[in-house]
Chains A and B, each alone.
Chain A
Amino acid sequence: MTLMCNFLRLKLIFIKNDYFSSLEGTFLKWISFHFLFTGEQILLSDNASSLAVQAFLQMCELPIKVVCRANAEYMSPSGKVPFIHVGNQVVSELGPIVQFVKAKGHSLSDGLDEVQKAEMKAYMELVNNMLLTAELYLQWCDEATVGEITHSRYGFPYPWPLNHILAYQKQWEVKRKMKAIGWGNKTLDQVLEDVDQCCQALSQRLGTQPYFFNKQPTELDALVFGHLFTILTTQLTSDELSDKVKNYSNLLAFCRRIEQNYFGENGKGHIPLRLA
């Protein structure tokens, strides 16, 4: 099954960096944002993480240049996409990127007090613990999805037999990790139930507010947006995962709001996938 988007190769997007010439003492010229994004290669969990980081950088109003490479996973210092390349530093994954950007003077969570920061960290761990793990489970441990989608996508840039070998190796690694954290014996239904519980918690926390910490978005909003949007817009072998998210209307409204504000037609950036 193909993803809903039609991209074959993403063109580079370069945003003029006049913004920074007026700031004093900044180190950032532009941030080169790398991820695995061709229409045929990227997987659900990587896409979610990449979108989260992209949303965060957009929220910080930092100019970014998006670069796609088939081997971005190997270029990254921690083996995970996405990563950013600034000057001569390379930082990967949302947590370290947030800290790096904060060290350079841009932060979304300065206005929060200690208790709220603790809550924000706790909710980010919840999303990583449940949503990301569920996505990994679905991609690599559910036989139907593995056979139809994951193997072919993961091995896409490589010739036979390397594509099969790498896909099996990655699957073995992920299964080992699942077993170590106790998800090895879970059935798909239990995983979906966990996703539902997580979405319910997020929905209750969000309530009727525009963002999780009222008026201003924070990295938590970026992370939640990345995962939920990807789940909603990726077509898998069945729609159960996205149905779980669709049950919560305030989460849907939240995703649309962020898409419009930060990825809209005003040219700030774009997302390759459209909301169904």
Chain B
Amino acid sequence: MADKSFVGGIREPRQGLVRVIRRGRSGWGGGRVALERSEVSPKLAPHFGFRLSEAERRGGGHFRGTRGRGGGKMAAPLELRCWGGGWGLPSVHSESLVVLAYAKFSGAPLKVSVIDNTWRGSRGDVPILTSEDNIVSQPAKILNFLRKQKYNADYQLSAKQGADTLAYIALLEEKLLPAVLHTFWIENDNYFTVTKPWFASRIPFPLSLILPGRMSKRALNRILLTKGEPPHYHLKEVEAQIYRDAKECLNLLSNRLGTSQFFFGNTPTTLDAYVFGFVAPLYKVHFPKVQLQEHVKQLSNLCRFCDDILSCYFRISLADG
């Protein structure tokens, strides 16, 4: 009981602590204790190390890292389980990065728990969002769920822009995702020198011997089943085709972005989250085989787009990591 204040691993200074959260009412993220002052007897308050000020009792208060959107949002604590970061990115895994970016854009208070090499938590089907009684697992579903919880980054978009978003996401998944998967999981140099060691270091032994191989097979399967139909009988031809498609897709995205800051004006939306999620790992992770990375670096507006998002929205992770 005494350690409830440290649920979620938040180490905050004891004095002037602004950690009180109304249970079940405000939009604070998950894992932190929700105790009203009246629930804690005055004798025990010093144990919990907090003092309640008037402002906190009124539902104000803050803690480092929130967007401060204030009350009125009904949200259960949300926990996201995803792969960790490196090379300046909050996450190296595309789908996890999409969800993280969207959460930042829409102000959803997510408690991010990174997969590490302890046996805690699950590793399959990541990213996974857990709230009170829901477990949601794919990026599209997670984003839908967040929108239903009123964390909507697209509220300023017109109907046509919303339709464009869906179309461009389909384009990304068809044309760019196979190449991203190939660069990470199938290209031998990249896989054995970068991807496999990185993932294996974050998975406990002996799963670290099995899981990266399984992820690689799943990526290969996906590419072959969707792209590897005749007349491409050989993997080399499929590779050539998917890299061609990916370069064309990147060019299209660059044309569409032009000189504006985000894809639809000055505020980031779902499409920005997806593009960031797919392009940023290609841009930032240091691979031995870099043909697609070279191409991304030539498209300076996409690079500027990724860097902007990293510096504006992920400053805290950058400072930590």
List the interface of chain A (C-beta within 8 A of B).
Answer: 77-80, 114-115, 117-119, 121-123, 125-126, 128-130, 176-177, 180-182, 197-198, 200-202, 204-205, 207
Partner of A177, one of B160, B167, B218, B225: B225
- Chain B nearest CB, measured from A187 CB (Å): 13
Is B255 a contact partner of A125 (Cβ separation < 8 A)?
no
Given A202-B163, A205-B160, answer yes or no on A122-B170 (Cβ-Cβ < 8 Å).
Answer: yes
List the interface of chain B (C-beta within 8 A of A).
Answer: 138, 159-160, 162-164, 166-168, 170-171, 173-175, 218, 221-222, 225-226, 229-231, 252-253, 255-256
Is A201 a contact partner of B231 (Cβ separation < 8 A)?
no
Counting chain B CB atoms within 10 Å of each CB, the highest count among A125, A130, A176 belongs to A125
Is A129 a contact partner of B160 (Cβ separation < 8 A)?
no
Q: Which 7 A-B pairs have the closest CB atoms?
A: A201-B163, A122-B167, A126-B170, A118-B252, A122-B171, A129-B170, A204-B159
Chain B binding site: helix, strand, loop or mixed by DSSP?
A: helix
Given contacts A126-B167, A207-B160, 8 further A-B contacts (CB under 8 A): A117-B252, A119-B164, A119-B256, A122-B168, A126-B171, A128-B170, A198-B166, A205-B167
Using Cβ atoms and an 8 Å threshold, which residues of chain B touch A130?
A: 170
Given A128-B174, A205-B160, answer yes or no on A119-B167 (Cβ-Cβ < 8 Å).
Answer: yes
Using Cβ atoms and an 8 Å threshold, which residues of chain A touch B173?
A: 125, 129
Partner of B230, one of A78, A123, A129: A78
Partner of B256, one of A115, A123, A182, A207: A115
Beta-carbon nearest neighbor of B256 in chain A: A118
Using Cβ atoms and an 8 Å threshold, which residues of chain B touch A117?
A: 252
Q: How far is the CA of A128 from the CA of B174 in the complex (A)?
A: 9
Is B174 a contact partner of A129 (Cβ separation < 8 A)?
yes
Q: How far is the CA of A176 from the CA of B162 in the complex (A)?
A: 31
Using Cβ atoms and an 8 Å threshold, which residues of chain B touch A200?
A: 163
Using Cβ atoms and an 8 Å threshold, which residues of chain A touch B218?
A: 180
Beta-carbon nearest neighbor of B141 in chain A: A190
Is B163 a contact partner of A181 (Cβ separation < 8 A)?
no
Q: How far is the CA of A201 from the CA of B218 in the complex (A)?
A: 31
Q: How far is the CA of A79 from the CA of B226 in the complex (A)?
A: 13
